[in-house]
Structure 1
Amino acid sequence: MKTYAIVGAGSRCTSMFAVPLSTQFADVAKIVGVYDPNPKRAALLQQKCGGDFPVYSSFEDMVGQSKPDAVIVTTIDRYHHEYIIKALEMGCDAITEKPMTIDEEKCNAILETERRTGRKVTVTFNMRFRPFVVRIKELLKQGTIGQILHVNLEWFLDTSHGADYFRRWHRKKENSGGLLIHKSTHHFDFVNWLLEEEPVEVSAFGTLRFYGPTREERSERCLTCKYKQTCEFYYDIGSDPSIREMYLETEDADGYYRDQCVFSEEIDIEDSVSLSARFSEGATMSYSLTAYSPYEGFKLALSGSEGRIEAETFHGSVGPFAGEDINRLRIYNRRQEEITVKVPHVTGAHGGGDERLLKMIFRGGLSDPLNQQASSWDGALSNAIGFMANKSMREGRSVLFNELVKRPL
Structure 2
Amino acid sequence: MTRKNITRKDFLKNATGALAGGMLAKPMGAFAGAPKQAAKRRVALVGTGIRGITFWGNTVRERYGDIIEFVGLCDINPGRLEYGKEYIGADCPTFTDFDEMMDTVEPDMLIVTTVDATHHMFIIGGLERGVDVLTEKPMTTDERKCQAILDAEEQSDAELIVGFNYRYSPHHTKLKELLVNRRVGKVTSVDFHWYLNVYHGASYFRRWHGEISSSGSLLVHKATHHFDLLNWWLDSDPVEVYAEASLEHYGSNHPFRGNKCRTCPHQDKCRFYWDITQNDTYMDLYVDNEQHDGYIRDNCLWRHEIDTYDKMSVQIQYANDVQVTYSLTTYSPYEGMEIAFNGFDGRIDAWHGIPWREQEKVNQAELHSQEMSQDEMEEATNYEEIMVMDNFSSQHEQIKVFQESGGHGGGDVRLQDQIFRNPDMEDPLEHSAGKRDGAMSILIGIAARKSIESGEPVRIEDLTSIKPHPSRGT
CA contact (8 A) 2:116 2:214 kept: yes
SS in 1 for 2:418: helix
With over 3 angstroms needed to count, the CA separation of the structure-2 counterparts of 1:382 and 1:160, relative to structure 1, is same
CA contact (8 A) 1:313 1:326 kept: no
Q: Compute the displacement of 1:325 (Å).
A: 7.0
Residues in 2 aligned to 1:134 and 1:349: alpha-carbon distance in whole angstroms = 14
2:371 aligned with 1:332, yes or no? Answer: no
Residues in 2 aligned to 1:51 and 1:303: alpha-carbon distance in whole angstroms = 49
Q: Aligned residue for 2:114?
A: 75
CA RMSD of aligned residues (A): 1.8
Residues 108-257 of structure 1 mapped to structure 2, 5 A cutoff: 108-257=147-296
Q: Aligned residue for 1:402?
A: 461
CA contact (8 A) 2:58 2:89 kept: no
Deviations 1:178-221 (A, max 9, x none): 00000000000000000000000000000111111122221121
SS in 2 for 1:64: helix
| Alignment-mate amino acid for residue 255 of structure 1 | G
Q: Compute the displacement of 1:350 (Å).
A: 3.0
SS in 2 for 1:341: strand
Q: Aligned residue for 2:142?
A: 103
With over 3 angstroms needed to count, the CA separation of the structure-2 counterparts of 1:326 and 1:298, relative to structure 1, is farther
Which of these residues, 337, 340, 351, is aligned with residue 298 of structure 1? Answer: 337
Residues in 2 aligned to 1:385 and 1:405: alpha-carbon distance in whole angstroms = 12
Q: Compute the displacement of 1:351 (Å).
A: 3.2
| Alignment-mate amino acid for residue 329 of structure 2 | T
CA contact (8 A) 1:131 1:353 kept: yes
Q: Compute the displacement of 1:23 (Å).
A: 1.1
Residues in 2 aligned to 1:199 and 1:290: alpha-carbon distance in whole angstroms = 22
Deviations 1:234-258 (A, max 9, x none): 1111111111111111111111000
Structure with max Cα Rg = 2
Q: Compute the displacement of 1:300 (Å).
A: 0.3
| Alignment-mate amino acid for residue 100 of structure 2 | D
Which runs of no fewer than 5 residues in structure 2 stay unpaired?
Answer: 1-39, 363-380, 468-474
Which of these residues, 403, 411, 428, is aligned with residue 369 of structure 1? Answer: 428
Deviates more, 1:13-22 or 1:72-81: 13-22
Residues in 2 aligned to 1:216 and 1:320: alpha-carbon distance in whole angstroms = 37
Residues in 2 aligned to 1:285 and 1:197: alpha-carbon distance in whole angstroms = 12
2:408 aligned with 1:350, yes or no? Answer: yes
Residues in 2 aligned to 1:51 and 1:369: alpha-carbon distance in whole angstroms = 35
Taking structure 1 as the reference length, the TM-score comes to 0.96
CA contact (8 A) 2:313 2:325 kept: yes
Residues in 2 aligned to 1:338 and 1:280: alpha-carbon distance in whole angstroms = 30
Q: How many pairs are equivalent?
A: 405
Residues in 2 aligned to 1:315 and 1:228: alpha-carbon distance in whole angstroms = 30
Q: Compute the displacement of 1:311 (Å).
A: 0.3
Q: Compute the displacement of 1:48 (Å).
A: 1.6
Which of these residues, 61, 65, 78, is aligned with residue 104 of structure 2? Answer: 65
Structure with the larger helix share: 2
Identity fraction in percent:
39
Taking structure 2 as the reference length, the TM-score comes to 0.83
SS in 2 for 1:166: helix
Q: Compute the displacement of 1:88 (Å).
A: 0.6
Which runs of no fewer than 5 residues in structure 1 stay unpaired?
Answer: none
